[in-house]
Amino acid sequence: MTRATLVGANLRRRLRRTILTILGLGVALFLFVTLQTVLRALQTAGEVGSESRLIVGSKLGIVFPLPLAYASRIQSVDGVQQISYSSWFGGVYQDPRNFFANFAVDPESYLSLYPELVVSPEHREAFLADRTGALVGVRLMERFGWQVGQTVTLQGTIYPGEHRFTIRGVYEAGRRGFDEGTFLFHHRYLEEIARAQGAEEGFVGWYVVGLTDPQLAPQVASTIDSFYENSAAPTRSQTERAFNLSFVGLYGNIGFFLNAIGTAVVFAILLVAANTMAMSARERFNEIAVLKSLGFTDGSVAGMVVTEALVIALLGLLVGLGGAMWVFNVMGFDAGGFLPGIRVRPETMALSGIIAILIGLVSGLIPAIQSARLRVVDALRYVA
Amino acid sequence: MKIPFIYNVRSMLNRPATTLATAIGIALVVVTFVGMLALANGFRSAMISTGSPDNVLILREGADAEISSGIDRETAQILAAFPDFTYSTADVFVVLSKPRLNGSETNMPVRGVGPDAPRVREEFRIVEGRMFEPGRAEVVVGRGLVGRMQNVEIGDKLRFGQQDFTVVGHFEAGGGAFESEVWGDAETLMPVFRGPVYQSMTLKLADPASFETAKARIEGDPRLQVQVKRESEFYAEQSEMLSNILRFIAIFVTSIMSVGAVFGAINTMDAMVASRGREIALLQTLGFRPGSVLSSFMIEAILLALVGGVLGCLLSLPINGIRTSTTNWQTFGEMTFAFRITPQILLLGLGFAVLMGIVGGFLPARRASRQVAAVGLRRE
């Protein structure tokens, strides 16, 4: 009889308890991995942004537009390869709860600045040719069951009234994590809308600047900002990655909460697991005494108890981590588009593995020490 | 015949370590549950206490938030002259990128208000320094921003556009969202920001009961292209999405955690039942019915959970009142609010603990009640 079979026999001794412990650890690790994954997805949202594109927005804040007249001067800066611009539209489809990003872009320059927007040549042509056409992310199409060629009406929040668009093309993300839930249309159409409503014309929300070399980013950014420093509409230029990260900063303390909850979860499972391990060891003091009288050393008895705890912890890890990976990496759950590109990352896998091993070691430790210290005479007399 | 309650208490006290470990496991679930509900509740009550039901808020038609709204001077003048209202304020509202104390940038809401604003929003109160003077480059800062943002102490200067504004006072506004804003004179701020247009207008009803009449009158006026809301309802609507998300996270996280805690409770109770085979058999031999054994073990499980629940509630109390912040996605402005634990939330936490006890205790208790006395007595 090998030691492994002994450990196996012990695990089967109270099979229900073993399974419950494994499942308990499993759900807790699942929760831990989920929280960490959400946290990472929020933190790394910025990684989607490119280092070779600058976003030039108003220094004052996101609601302030910039004059369209800035375009030619920015274009002339050394290191600028190409420039495009867009404006937030803030349209609502049917119900304000159906939130999705929709903005007006200068179609040709935008598509060439964003190779991540993968569009078939026919869709591209159709979109460029139609003044009221829209280019829609594939996930947004699925969400509302839209078809190419369909006319959709957005309710304006910044530009009052109902605005009709014809879906001319669908894009897919050419890079993992790039949002497939955006609605893009012609900036020219937005200007028509603004003109019809007597709103100020010739303004854009932000410029996108393509650089010839990412290394030039700081230099180009400060050159552009220095042009307008003392004007009525000063600019703030930053790399797209830094820009995206500043949005992540808006989540405020959410990260702190997710971490706090994760820690509470880990503590809770540690307690529950340690408790269970201690209980099973206590119940078996008689058997352990028998093993010892058969010649098993203190160390080997303790080792067996720890091994048992480790096996339970690792099976729990299999359930929890496996479950989370199945949900995020295989099923592709993305919280209704709220968390695009969410997946369990290697760091999270490693972290949850380390936690599982620690839980196994810590929860096995006390009963292992007790078992090792156990005196055969006392134990045979002991009633649990 | 019932098994005396004290028996359950004694048997728990006999195994202090096991009892405590299970109770703490449940307590941590309760702490998380209470904490997250307190967070959602704090955010909601900050938003709800922002508006008054006696006030009417005017936005441009189609606009769903102040930042996307625009109201011209003429409209504001027409509205201010309506007989249904006593005081009114036409506000300029923007969010500006400003540094936090820790250096990161966030969107700070800035509001230019009319001279009657403190009379429209009655909770407004200067707590330090003084009120800004109309026509001068002065502002007052909401208490929620103090200690979080740079340049908001009295005497500091905040730069908006091309102009410096001196901070002359700090204010409170009943704990609501206004406390996360900077207030200045609308006429002074207007040229600095978006030109001659207001974002919203708030009017105090002369008779709080006459909201519907006033609304009908405004909407029936062909000169006005605006939407009319009760101020309190507007802020409640704005908070809806985020507080739903927070509540969803609270329920999602705690329900998963509680499954783990229930497994733990089952294990603990199971082990108790297993190790007390003789005791149970003895009880049966003494004449206690299976039903009594079942209810006795259930009581023990509930008691255990209750200890955990009370412990959890006590452990969660210190978070009450801690201030935190998040982005209000309707305005993109940062908003600070405090965790708010209410007696209802604590009761929910306790109820939740008891539920875990019931679910976790039932199977082991049933097993105990079905045990055959003779077999139990024969066991080691």
Query: Rounded mean pLDDT of B12-17?
Result: 78
Least confident of A258-262, A287-291, A346-350, B186-190: A258-262
Question: Of all helices (H) and strands (E), which one includes residue A164?
Answer: strand A162-173
Query: Does the beta-carbon distance from B263 to A20 stay under 8 Å?
Result: yes
- Indicate yes or no: CB of B95 within 8 angstroms of CB of A61: yes
Amino acid code (one letter) for B331? T
Helices (H) and strands (E) in chain A, counts: 14, 12
pLDDT score of A109: 93
Distance separating alpha carbons of residues B351 and B247, to the nearest angstrom: 17
B326: chain A residues, CB-CB within 8 Å: 251-254
Instruction: Give whichever of A330-344, B29-43, B175-189, B225-239 has the largest mean pLDDT.
Output: B175-189
* pLDDT score at B376: 65
pTM over 0.80: no
Sequence-distant (≥ 6) Cβ neighbours of residue B186 within 8 angstroms: B89, B90, B91, B92, B112, B113, B114, B198
Query: Which residue in chain A is spatially nearest to B271 when comparing CA positions?
Result: A279
What is the band of B168 on the pLDDT scale with cuts at 50, 70, 90?
very high
Is B60 within 8 Å of chain A by CB? yes
More confident of the two residues B47 and B139: B139
Amino acid letter for position A325 = M
Q: Average of pLDDT values for A102-127? A: 93
- Residues of chain A with Cβ-Cβ distance to B149 below 8 Å are none
Average pLDDT over residues B193-203: 87
Residue A41 predicted with pLDDT over 80: no
- Are B25 and A268 a contacting pair at CB < 8 A? yes
Pairing of strands A151-155, A102-105: unpaired
Give the confidence band of B360 by pLDDT, cuts at 50, 70, 90. Answer: confident
User: What's the pLDDT tens digit per position in B298-337?
Assistant: 888 899 899 999 999 999 999 888 887 777 666 667 778 8
- CA–CA distance, B220 with B227 (Å, rounded to integer): 11
Burial class (CB in 10 A: 0-12, 13-18, 19+), A105: buried
Q: Is A157 in contact with B241 (Cβ distance < 8 A)?
A: no
The distance of B379 to chain A (nearest Cα, Å) reads 11
Whether B14 shows a pLDDT value over 60: the answer reads yes
In B, residues 117-156, which contact A (CB 8 Å cutoff)? none
Looking at residue A48, what is its pLDDT? 67
Residue A383: its pLDDT value, please?
Answer: 55
A339 confidence band (pLDDT: 50, 70, 90): low
d(CA B201, CA B70): 10
Position B214, amino acid: A
Per-residue pLDDT tens for A210-228?
Answer: 999 888 888 999 999 998 8
**Residue B144 scores a pLDDT above 80:** yes
Residue A111 has pLDDT above 70, yes or no: yes
**Residue A168 CB neighbours (<10 A):** 23
Worst-scoring range by mean pLDDT, A89-98, A157-166, B208-217, B251-260?
A: B251-260
Contacts B96 to A, Cβ<8 Å: 60-61
Confidence class of residue B361 from pLDDT cuts 50, 70 and 90?
confident
Is A249's CB within 8 Å of B106's CB? yes
Paired tokens of B305:
């959970």
- Cβ atoms of B155 and B162 closer than 8 Å: no
CB-based contacts of A330, cutoff 8 Å, min separation 6: none
Per residue in A240-282, pLDDT (tens digit) is: 888 877 766 656 566 677 777 777 777 777 777 777 777 777 7
pLDDT band at A45 (very low <50, low <70, confident <90, very high): low
Evaluate if residue B197 carries a pLDDT over 90.
Answer: no
Answer with the residue of higher pLDDT: B73 or A335: B73
Q: State which residue of chain B sits closest to A64, comparing Cα positions.
A: B194
Handedness of CA A261, A265, A268, A270 (dihedral sign): negative
A282-297 average pLDDT score: 80
Mutate to test the interface with B, among A22, A162, A271 (most CBs of B within 10 A): A271
> Given CB atoms, is B111 within the 8 Å cutoff of chain A?
no
pLDDT at residue B251, rounded to an integer = 80
At residue B369, the pLDDT reads 83
Do the Cβ atoms of A60 and B104 come within 8 Å?
Answer: no
The secondary structure element, H or E, covering residue B370 is helix B343-370
The burial of B365, by beta-carbon neighbours within 10 Å (0-12 exposed, 13-18 middle, 19 or more buried), is given as: buried
Contact call for B32 and A63, based on CB within 8 A: no
Percent of chain B at pLDDT > 90 equals 31
B31 contact residues in A (CB cutoff 8 A): 264
Tell me the average pLDDT across B231-239. 84
Contact B332 A250 (CB under 8 A): yes
The CA–CA distances, whole Å, from B265 to A17, A273, B83, B308 equal 11, 11, 66, 11
* Mean pLDDT score, A137-163: 90
- The nearest CA of chain A is from the CA of B63 a distance in Å of 4
Residue B1: its pLDDT value, please? 66
- Taking a C-beta distance cutoff of 8 angstroms, is the pair A235, A32 a contact? no
Q: Give chain A positions within 8 Å (CB) of B271.
A: 17, 276, 279-280, 283
Angle at B284 between CA B283 and CA B288, to 5 degrees: 80
Closest residue to B324, CB basis, from A62, A92, A253: A253
The model's confidence at residue A183, banded by pLDDT at 50, 70 and 90, is very high
Q: Which residue of A has its CA nearest to B17?
A: A275
From A156's Cα to the closest Cα of chain B, the distance in A is 6
Which residue of chain B is at minimal alpha-carbon distance from A261?
B32
Residues B267 and A19: their CA atoms lie apart, in Å, by: 10
What contacts A263, CB < 8 A, 6 or more positions away? none
For A179-213, give one letter per residue: b (16+ CB within 10 A) or e: bbbbbbbbbebbbebbeeeeeeeebbbbbbbbbee
Does ipTM come in above 0.90?
no
Dihedral of CA B317/B321/B322/B327: which sign? Answer: positive
B64–A20: do the CB atoms touch at under 8 Å? no
Beta bridge partners of residue A235, listed in sequence order? A58
Residue A81 pLDDT: 92
Assess B286–A contact: CB distance below 8 Å, yes or no. Answer: no
Is A60's CB within 8 Å of B96's CB?
yes
State how far residue A171 is from chain B, nearest Cα, in angstroms.
27
B95: distance to nearest CA of chain A, Å?
A: 6
* Residue from the list A25, A62, A156 with its beta carbon closest to the beta carbon of B332: A62
Q: What is the pLDDT of residue A44?
A: 67
- Mean residue pLDDT of chain B comes to 85
**Chains A, B: CB contacts under 8 A, how many?**
165
> pLDDT grade, residue A83 (50/70/90)?
very high
In terms of CA atoms, which chain A residue is nearest residue B97? Answer: A61
Angle (nearest 5°) at CA B102 between B97 and B104: 35
Q: Which residue has the higher pLDDT, B117 or A288?
A: B117
Mean residue pLDDT across chain A: 84
pLDDT at residue A141 is higher than 90: yes
Supply the pLDDT for residue A249.
61
- Strands B182-185 and B105-113 come out as parallel
Out of B104, B257, B267, the one facing A21 most closely (by C-beta) is B267
Q: Which of B217, B284, B258, B281 is nearest to B348 (CA)?
A: B258
pLDDT of the residue at B188: 92
Q: Over the stretch B277-293, which tens digit does the pLDDT of each residue have? A: 778 888 888 888 888 88
